[in-house]
Amino acid sequence: MPLNVLLVASEVVPLAKTGGLGDIVSAYAAALREAGVDATILLPAYPNAVAQAERLSRVGTLTGLPGGDATLLRGRMPGTRVPVLLLCCDALYARTGLYQDAQGRDYADNAIRFATLSAAAVRIAQGVRNVKKPDIVHAHDWHTGLTPLLMKHAKHAGVHAKSVFTIHNLAFQGNYPLLGVSLSVPEKWLAHAFSDPESIEFYGALSLMKAGIVHADRVTTVSETYAREILTPRFGHLMEGVLRRYADKLSGVVNGIDENTWNPAADPHIERNYSFDDMRGKHLCKRALQRKFGLSVDPFAPLMAIGSRMTAQNRSSRTWCSRRCRICWRSIRVCSWRCSARAKRTSRRDSGRSRRNGRIASACISAMTSAARMRCMPARTSCCTEPLRAVRAHPDVRDALRHAAGRLARGRSCRHDRRCGAKRGSVRSQRAAAVGVSA
């Protein structure tokens, strides 16, 4: 009998996405099934998810959840055919954004919304008619942090599954006021952290991230390096003490990619397909990208690409300009892809709200990645640090970065200005042209 795993997440591609979490969950589920594991995804029934899921059918009603009664729907992921369970509660999930409203403000009831998702996962682990009981419940990021806690509390009610909690980004912890929030959390775990080591109180707030770390049977994160870094004050975001206490159950597993999606031999978004055996198409992709950006067409000019959200964590604040595209950093007036034409008035808007914007952004990133000689990873506090350190360690790259940084600091032009299209003597234009260096 195959192992049965329930993956609990707030987003999954292509049903819902704002960042890398949705990509990894969908690819992870498909990889598990290819390995013989019976993996199923539990996701909120966002309007877009209901519209895209295939062969939807009603399973039943879950009563007594923190956010009220909800309907459980079953369907299939488009393309991969991975089974998916959608938790339908229109009062909580029938909204335009996943986490924020049209003004970029977090929904006031986010704690209730995702506590309801966690409670539904526990109810499935207890047993729901016509749904297989999971052997393992794998909760992803702070949105599902209450899942291990509620599973432990429900062991007397027939929950025998093991819990795994994965930290994708420790900077976002899901911290909410202790008072006025009804999340079905027992009072004993809301006491001050000094009085109870299993408490989820965190500097006077209730932390969903801490709940997952403390009460899960195993805690994983997105790389071995990140697992070590988050134990330090520099990258721990005040959670390093909690993580050090439970370091014996913490491990890092490097994120992979979906080779079917990110495959230059079959990618429809790039100028010309290519493969390891035939690299001629990559040169054409580079030429097309140089023309797209208004650069001099030079097959020997080094080209670096970066795909990133515009956040301080990804070191993007150095290059941010409200009139620049958030994906390709060109002026919005001349951005051929229109990646973020509304960046000036929607810089905090939920990036996963529009399917069309998501497709355009993916096309832009595919085009840059296919043409670049090097891919510069944006974040210093994630698994991206491993390849980034490897790139920087190369002597030629290190010398080039030092040369460019010195030139930019002195406000002088670089000898490659003519090639990269930056105006001679303009520090701002050099930074825009060499944005990969600042990352």
Q: What is the pLDDT of residues 391-430, one digit of tens each?
A: 445 555 555 555 555 554 555 444 443 334 333 333 333 3
Q: Does position 356 have pLDDT exceeding 70, yes or no?
A: no
Q: Is residue 263 part of a domain?
A: no
222 and 285 both lie in a single domain: no
Statement to judge: residues 135 and 247 lie in one domain: yes
Q: What is the pLDDT of residues 98-131, one digit of tens each?
A: 999 988 899 999 999 999 999 999 999 999 999 9
Number of domains comprising the chain? 2
What is the rounded average pLDDT of the residues 249-257? 89
Q: Is residue 223 part of a domain?
A: yes
Q: Is residue 25 part of a domain?
A: yes
Which of the two residues, 381 and 310, has the higher pLDDT score?
310
Structure tokens of 66?
A: 């923190």
Share of the chain above pLDDT 70, in %: 71
For residue 368, give both structure tokens: 């840059």
User: What pLDDT, on a 0 to 100 scale, did the predictor assign at position 58?
Assistant: 95
Show the tokens assigned to 251. Answer: 């491990």
pLDDT value for 183? 85
> Which range has the worst mean pLDDT, 74-78, 350-354, 368-372?
350-354
Q: Is the pLDDT of residue 361 over 70?
A: no
Give mean pLDDT, residues 219-228. Answer: 94
Q: How far apart are CA 134 and CA 85, in angstroms?
A: 13
pLDDT-based confidence at 191, cuts 50/70/90? confident
Q: Is 311 found in the same domain as 187?
A: no
Q: Which of 238, 222, 110 is nearest to 174 (CA)?
A: 110
Dihedral (C-alpha) 84, 90, 95, 99: value to the nearest 10 degrees? -70
Residues 331 and 376 in one domain: yes
Identity of the residue numbered 254: V
SS3 43: strand
The enclosing domain of 164 has a CATH number of 3.40.50.2000
Both tokens assigned to 98: 């996943």
Question: Same structural domain for residues 128 and 242?
Answer: yes
- 205-207 and 175-177 as β-strands: parallel, antiparallel, unpaired? antiparallel
Q: Rounded to whole angstroms, what are the CA distances from 224 to 231, 253, 306?
A: 12, 6, 23
Token readout for 62 is 């879950």
Please report whether residue 340 resides in a domain: yes
Q: Are residues 290 and 190 in the same domain?
A: no
Q: What confidence category does residue 366 fall into, taking pLDDT thresholds of 50, 70 and 90?
A: confident
Cβ contacts of residue 279 below 8 Å, gap of 6+?
none
pLDDT, mean over the chain: 78
Q: Are residues 219 and 320 in the same domain?
A: no
Q: Is the pLDDT of residue 182 over 90?
A: no
Respond yes or no on whether the N-terminal peptide bond of residue 186 is cis (omega within 30° of 0). Answer: no
Eight-state DSSP code of residue 54: E
> What pLDDT score was predicted for residue 179?
63
Residue 257 in any domain: the answer is no
Domain shared by 202 and 109, yes or no: yes
What is the pLDDT averaged over residues 348-354? 41
176 domain-assigned: yes
Is residue 299 predicted with pLDDT exceeding 60? yes
Q: Which of 106, 123, 107 is nearest to 70 (CA)?
A: 123
Residue 355 has pLDDT above 50, yes or no: no
- pLDDT tier at 45, thresholds 50, 70, 90: very high
CB-based contact 45:73 (threshold 8 Å): yes
431 pLDDT band (50/70/90 cuts)? Answer: very low
Q: Which of 202, 236, 252 is the last residue of a domain?
A: 252
Q: What is the pLDDT of residue 304?
A: 80
- Domain of 82, in residue numbers: 4-252
Among 156, 165, 87, 98, smallest CA distance to 120 is for 87
CA 197, distance to chain mean position in Å, is 30
The answer to whether residues 237 and 289 belong to one domain is no
Query: Is the pLDDT assigned to residue 300 strictly greater than 50?
Result: yes
Residues 237 and 286 in one domain: no
Q: Are 198 and 317 part of one and the same domain? A: no
Residue with tokens 């047993």: 127
Per-residue pLDDT band at 324 (split at 50, 70, 90): very low
State the pLDDT confidence band at 224, using cuts at 50, 70 and 90.
Answer: very high
Q: In this structure, how many other beta carbons lie within 10 angstroms of the beta carbon of residue 320?
A: 14
pLDDT at 372: 74
Both 317 and 227 in one domain: the answer is no
Q: Collapse the DSSP code of 95 into the 3-class scheme (helix H, G, I; strand E, B; otherwise coil) and give the result.
A: coil
